[in-house]
Amino acid sequence: MADAREGSRGCENRMDSEEDKCSDNDFESSKLGTKEYWEEAYQKELETFKDIGDVGEIWFGEESMSRVLRWMDKAKIPEDAGVLDIGTGNGAFLVELAKHGYRNLTGIDYSPASVELARNILQAEGLTDVTVKETDFLSCRGELTGFDVCIDKGTFDAISLNPDNNKECKKLYVHTLKDALKDNGIFVITSCNWTKEQLLERFCEGFQFVEELPTPSFQFGGKTGNSVAALIFKRVH
């Protein structure tokens, strides 16, 4: 699979300072937060896949999927658990989850090209029992319910860059996530734009922090930071 980098498009290495650890300031808006950008990107990847079979970029790299799968093994998540991949992109994580034995998988994305690409890749892998839907997570409250596990690998980051009222979008994301998960359901988020402390603050209502997954660190100017944050939450009332 292509591009196994830990970083990805629209992400920058972050340093957690005392001043920004608990801040939740909005980022400047970006085309990376628009549907048009992702539709164009996945249309190109779809054409490339049809031409030469290249599945395209793996968001956050292969290790980002492996660390979540290792945690799911450790947590003994059953193979029949209902798993929702929020913003599935090319469906690479769905492929890995299916190969790992999980058999109740759903991926959603608001990009039609993404959905077509994911379906093509799954079919090429012989994985015909995985559901992929063209769905905007922010516009489907009440439609997605009953999931045991919800996984986000960069989607909340993109929503945070939306030029159209991203503050309200972030609040809506949290509400929709609450609806999608069963009681005690698991939320796994990997982010390159938000620190651990900021994510803890964002998902403080209706969720219980479970664990931080180890991610690569770097040093600069005598300080240590992480290029991404990967956190596990549990849905609680």
193: left (phi over 0), alpha (psi -120 to 50) or beta: alpha
**Mind listing the pLDDT tens digit for each residue in 115-150?**
999 999 999 999 999 999 999 999 998 899 999 999
Rounded to the nearest integer, the mean pLDDT of the chain is: 86
- pLDDT per residue over 143-199, tens digit each? 999 999 999 999 999 999 987 887 899 999 999 999 999 999 999 999 999 999 999
Helix (H, G, I), strand (E, B) or coil at 197: helix
Q: What is the DSSP letter of 60?
A: T
H or E segment to which residue 99 belongs = helix 92-99
* Structure-block tokens of residue 106: 């759903």
DSSP 138-180: GG-TTTS--EEEEEEESHHHHHHT-TTTHHHHHHHHHHHHHHH
Q: What is the mean pLDDT of residues 64-93?
A: 97
